[in-house]
Structure 1
Amino acid sequence: MGIIESRTFKSGNSVAVRLPKELGFAAGTAVTIEKIGNKLEIKPAIDPEDERQRVAAMIERIETIWANAPYHEIEAREQIEFPDRPGL
């Protein structure tokens, strides 16, 4: 996409920037803004309830995979014998 330039403008007591259509969000989208050095990072805000549901669904999928796995126990490994290496 390359670099797209824009200008700030005054909106009430705030300074605003207009996002080009190809970089914008849908109207009314909640966003978080983080200043990192001299850069601003703007990203959609995470809804805590949506995140909880997403994580719960992921855990459920993992539990399903585990329940259907052929092995439910950790197998014991054979003891590894290390050779005697004098001088090391």
Structure 2
Amino acid sequence: MSQEYRAKVFKSGNSLALRLPKGLGLKEGTEMKVREERGRYIAMPVDEKPKKIDLAGIYGSAPGFKPFAREERQFEDRELDWEGKLLKGA
């Protein structure tokens, strides 16, 4: 069974705030989504955006590599077996 906590709503500037107990394990600065559903409030962390990879540091590190020309990017048709279904030219 989950732990139950009590918290009070208080005024913070022109808004209302809810102080959440440390025991919930949230980290300071965590962005939360809050929605009201039939008189209950549901709060959950916002999914973090995938981090972008910076490839600037590796540019030029493969001097023998050259981009493919358009005609080199064409592939021959072949039969593929995905999940037991034979697909031609997929």
Amino acid at match of 1:4: Y
Aligned to 1:33: 34
Match of 2:84 among 74, 77, 88: 74
C-alpha displacement at 1:72, in angstroms?
A: 6.3
Gaps of 5+ in 2: 52-80, 86-90
Q: In angstroms, what is the RMSD of aligned CA positions?
A: 2.3
Per-residue deviation at 1:35?
Answer: 1.1
Deviations 1:2-60 (A, max 9, x none): 4321211100011111101112510111111111111111111012426xxxxxxxxxx
Amino acid at match of 1:74: G
2:84 match: secondary structure? coil
Percent identity among equivalent residues?
31
Which structure has more strand as a fraction of its residues? 2
Q: Which runs of 5+ in 1 are unaligned?
A: 51-70, 76-88
Distance 1:74 1:45, change over 3 A: same
Equivalence map 1:3-82=2 (5 Å): 3-49=4-50, 74=84
Task: Tell me the matched-pair count.
Answer: 55
Moved over 6 A (4+): none
More helix by share: 1
Q: 1:43 to 1:74 in 2, by over 3 A?
A: same
Letter of the aligned partner of 2:84 in structure 1? Answer: I
